[in-house]
Amino acid sequence: MPSRSDLKRLYDVGAQLAPMTHQQQDWPYEISPDAYKAYLQPPHDVGGQASGPSVFEEKEEELWELNTYVTCEVLGWKGVWNSEERRRIGNNDLGASLYYGFPYYGRWIWAAARMLVDKKHISLMELLEKIAEVKARHAAG
């Protein structure tokens, strides 16, 4: 099992690969073993990594989670996207900060919104206006 210092070194090197903190590189013919490990570790692949203590418990899904699942499935049934696109957008393309910052179905709904904008089913302005409308409705109770 890797030590905390090994994991910190891996995460520090891996953080330099993230798009939002990308550092210009000249792509040498040889890379360090740490860089090699970081390149091979996508943010969603957490198998075998050390983590803090976790409490695993059964819980009922919340309504928004069920609605998100159904929405994503309907998008698939309608041919708007496929499961591989959902996984790629919702896992691989997020980057570590968003991947670890969103709940499971939060990544699904983020991926659905991004895909709808990317494929021009809705405009970004339409999405932002709808988000503002829902926030106002929620604040009003």
DSSP for 45-109, please give it. --TT-----------PPPHHHHHHHHHHHHHHHTTS--HHHHHIIIIITT-HHHHHHS-HHHHHH
Nearest-angstrom CA–CA distance, 96 and 14: 9
Catalytic residues: 104
- Cβ-contact 127, 117 below 8 angstroms: yes
Nearest-angstrom CA–CA distance, 23 and 41: 18
Nearest-angstrom CA–CA distance, 38 and 10: 6
